[in-house]
Structure 1
């Protein structure tokens, strides 16, 4: 099936490329003597209100909003966000963390709506079942004490510290502090009767050391400072040249510190119970059959802070809470079991969780870790992370460029297609002055923010296009794109038979493939001071760029930087130039204007004009478009905010007269809705 061609021309548009343009010898256009101007015969048009940009005049969705892609299908439309003039992107985003499994804020939202902990868990981990594991001992590597050459331990108030090695009691004196130091042959133990005092007792051992009392042990990094009180006992183990400290603690005691670190103790009991089961299950899943520890104590595993913080003088601040203790006790021993593969063996489930999935969960590595809309995330009062905003400094992103480069644009190449903004970013590229950098991991794609589900917010819309699908005074599309200093562009950048807009900043071109206000293509073409032209020079249905230098035109067929494909001389350096498909063959060519006379060429070659006509007045602003959808571009003139449009390439009375926008607006022409007829748009710059 064939589709009618539409052409448009905007002689004042311009583009840029880093490549040098080819120069050919010049040949002037031979034209006859000018003809006396003939005015356009018009009647006074009815006074129309300035409808463009009125709050109730644009019936389109909010500018810049991407469609809600709730289907489980990734998207690959490119989004380009150039470096802002002030060096800071305003960011909107959703979620905190990886989004796999349970959303903690979602669990709170569900609990506040009366959902039980069992139902919460069944929603976030579908296909799992409950089991009971009793109270096994966990081995938690304490990262703040590990990787060092020494650590210090002492007994909680009222307790006596015991140190054993190889099953033998080493006879540490009571009271004071004990320092364990790694040596080339094992460990040296030194006891100080007072905090920071001199060593009064010491011994060595070649084997790992276990430290314990009847009520846990306090561990720290110095002989004078504070420490952390841990339940259970501590094992000091050798590494190559340092030591590791591992807390051996019963599962239920371990959870008493974990659960209030992962979820606020003030939350609804059902949410705390769900967190208790998820944390217990995760810990059980991560329990190693060998090695020296099962889990660490940070967000890389589960946050574990021990029983309490202890000051140097003995002050105690608890890390446990009665409300979370109650939730742990009410679910004692309970875990979820799942299958690694459908029909496979059952075992402790991999119950990943994060602060918030932003309203849509992410598929994980197990059948029960599914991607699905979350009706509860974002419903709990005070939830600050399901939806959020922040700023991203370009200088922070610069550090990710190679060899000290400077980021020029953030380029989102793919999203997961789930939820607002098109979903989480699954493909991200940084265009830097030193080359492009692909950001390969989900964590890295966060760029230091809460999640990989984010998008730069368009600026305070200093540059806005108002596009009209019909010959009326009211805009159908409001498109924010560019800065206050940007020049407007319009064309069919992707060959979908619908024109969209773009902006030019120097020789940097930012083009949008739809009317959402998101730049999808960024390229450099020509020089900043070149006159830029837009046209379909090869008839492939995709507009590209050309530049004019004097009366020489350098035209490129591809929408990329590079050397010109066609170089042609036409007219004089002082002529006003226009682009259009004057004969309906699908290829745009040139026309020049002298006064109110137009010299039109039907091919991209030097030589005499193929057609001449007079239209309008010498001072009129001239527009080119296919106003009636017949595949042939014709002329229109603008006087203030009144437009006089003719459907034939002949002198005569205007076929359409319309008032639109403001006299100060810049005008763009295009087929904004794909119906083959060009209509008007205006570009408006606001200043504050």
Structure 2
């Protein structure tokens, strides 16, 4: 149960897993609440401390008790609520909000908007295209944004490094095998060193916690080496593909976790897995593109699931595929010859 200043009989019933009809009618289906509303609830419940653990048997910003956290699936993120990210706590709170108690699970609901808000806190956003121009080390986005970051010779990256739901820039510097990652598109807040010379840098949310981590693909042994969120410790290594294949990672089934795949330039074949630990078993296999194309991926339609595509450098064309390569979703043209494609949910 969520922390209550006064435990009522109804609260005890839900804590025991008893969903009474009267309680369900009282609360009603709340559907969703914005991050701003959850911040108001957390401010009242825990003074806005999303890592709260004061010894009162209730944890985190929204003061879950352990049975509620476990019962609504919180342990997929962390054993205890206060060990989970803010986003993960809110995602579990959304499930509670749609449960028998609804917003009455929090005594702090009055004056927060929790009873009237119907806003999805983390709506899926469609990916947008952009480019990195090596000549001036500048990112240019098709939505009009731009920023100088990195240096000529860097490999451009984009990812959500802090779990706020928005991608920001990063670069990988092959000369020192370091990742330079920024939360504001201007200042590197993380500079982890990972991999070996000749590795291909990767970015993905391997564990579904809403925060992207780094990794590399080693062409010499066709193996993906993926780190956890401290961006230093290997947590997965997966061998996939053959010499000459190009790595590609994405959330191919919409479960919130990125998994690995390869693109074979020799025959324009994509082959992706739905499990980071799935070994060589691929679940999505199809041909797409022309010889000379470079593989890309993004959530083109905002449905929470990545699709692939190709970048045709001679025309600066991003040719986005429908799911599993059945057709062309869109084909925006952006940038100039010599640019490197960059895709993100800005």
Same fold (TM over 0.5): yes
CA contact (8 A) 1:584 1:631 kept: yes
Q: Give the corresponding residue for 2:155.
A: 487
What is the alpha-carbon distance in structure 1 between the residues aligned to residue 280 and residue 179 of structure 2? 31
Q: Give the corresponding residue for 2:217.
A: 548
Q: Counterpart of 1:631 in 2: which secondary structure?
A: coil
Q: Give the corresponding residue for 1:651.
A: 326
1:617 Cα deviation after fit: 1.5
1:560 Cα deviation after fit: 2.6
State how 1:281-292 maps to structure 2 within 5 Å: none
Shift of the 619–540 alpha-carbon distance from structure 1 to 2, 3 Å rule, reads: same
State how 1:66-85 maps to structure 2 within 5 Å: none
What is the alpha-carbon distance in structure 1 between the residues aligned to residue 250 and residue 263 of structure 2? 13
1:655 Cα deviation after fit: 2.4
What is the alpha-carbon distance in structure 2 between the residues aligned to residue 485 and residue 556 of structure 1? 24
Shift of the 587–7 alpha-carbon distance from structure 1 to 2, 3 Å rule, reads: farther
Q: Give the corresponding residue for 1:624.
A: 297
1:647 Cα deviation after fit: 3.4
1:6 Cα deviation after fit: 6.3
State how 1:91-106 maps to structure 2 within 5 Å: none
Q: Give the corresponding residue for 2:273.
A: 601
1:529 Cα deviation after fit: 2.5
CA contact (8 A) 2:131 2:339 kept: no
What is the alpha-carbon distance in structure 1 between the residues aligned to residue 301 and residue 207 of structure 2? 23
The number of equivalent residue pairs is 215
What is the alpha-carbon distance in structure 1 between the residues aligned to residue 318 and residue 224 of structure 2? 29
The structure with the greater share of residues assigned to strand is 1
What is the alpha-carbon distance in structure 1 between the residues aligned to residue 243 and residue 230 of structure 2? 26
What is the alpha-carbon distance in structure 2 between the residues aligned to residue 588 and residue 52 of structure 1? 22
CA contact (8 A) 1:545 1:559 kept: no
What is the alpha-carbon distance in structure 2 between the residues aligned to residue 483 and residue 464 of structure 1? 8
1:560 paired to 2:228: no
1:4 Cα deviation after fit: 4.0
1:7 Cα deviation after fit: 9.4
Shift of the 493–6 alpha-carbon distance from structure 1 to 2, 3 Å rule, reads: farther
Q: Counterpart of 2:324 in 1: which secondary structure?
A: coil
What is the alpha-carbon distance in structure 2 between the residues aligned to residue 642 and residue 606 of structure 1? 33
What is the alpha-carbon distance in structure 1 between the residues aligned to residue 123 and residue 261 of structure 2? 22
1:462 Cα deviation after fit: 3.2
1:591 paired to 2:264: no
CA contact (8 A) 1:462 1:482 kept: no
1:467 paired to 2:141: yes
Q: Identify the match of residue 533 of structure 1 among 202, 205, 211.
A: 202
Q: Select the structure of larger CA radius of gyration.
A: 1
Shift of the 52–649 alpha-carbon distance from structure 1 to 2, 3 Å rule, reads: closer
CA contact (8 A) 1:596 1:615 kept: yes
What is the alpha-carbon distance in structure 2 between the residues aligned to residue 587 and residue 7 of structure 1? 17
CA contact (8 A) 2:261 2:272 kept: yes
CA RMSD of aligned residues (A): 2.5
User: Residue by residue, what CA displacement relative to the aligned partner does 1:536-589 show, whole Å, maximum 9, x if unpaired?
Assistant: 111111111112222222111214323x11122112232112111110001111
| TM-score, structure 1 as length reference | 0.30
Q: Counterpart of 2:188 in 1: which secondary structure?
A: coil
Higher normalized contact order (CA 8 Å, seq sep 6+, divided by chain length) = 1
CA contact (8 A) 2:126 2:303 kept: no
State how 1:360-399 maps to structure 2 within 5 Å: none
1:530 Cα deviation after fit: 1.6
What is the alpha-carbon distance in structure 1 between the residues aligned to residue 273 and residue 261 of structure 2? 6
State how 1:370-519 maps to structure 2 within 5 Å: 462-469=136-143, 476-505=144-173, 506-515=176-185, 517-519=186-188
CA contact (8 A) 2:126 2:300 kept: no
What is the alpha-carbon distance in structure 2 between the residues aligned to residue 509 and residue 607 of structure 1? 27
| TM-score, structure 2 as length reference | 0.57
Shift of the 618–6 alpha-carbon distance from structure 1 to 2, 3 Å rule, reads: farther
CA contact (8 A) 1:7 1:588 kept: no
1:608 Cα deviation after fit: 2.3
CA contact (8 A) 2:179 2:191 kept: yes
1:612 Cα deviation after fit: 1.1
What is the alpha-carbon distance in structure 1 between the residues aligned to residue 231 and residue 131 of structure 2? 33
Q: Identify the match of residue 576 of structure 1 among 246, 249, 254.
A: 246
State how 1:243-322 maps to structure 2 within 5 Å: none
What is the alpha-carbon distance in structure 1 between the residues aligned to residue 136 and residue 325 of structure 2? 39
Consecutive unaligned residues in structure 1, runs of 5 or more:
11-50, 54-460, 470-475, 673-688
CA contact (8 A) 1:491 1:543 kept: yes
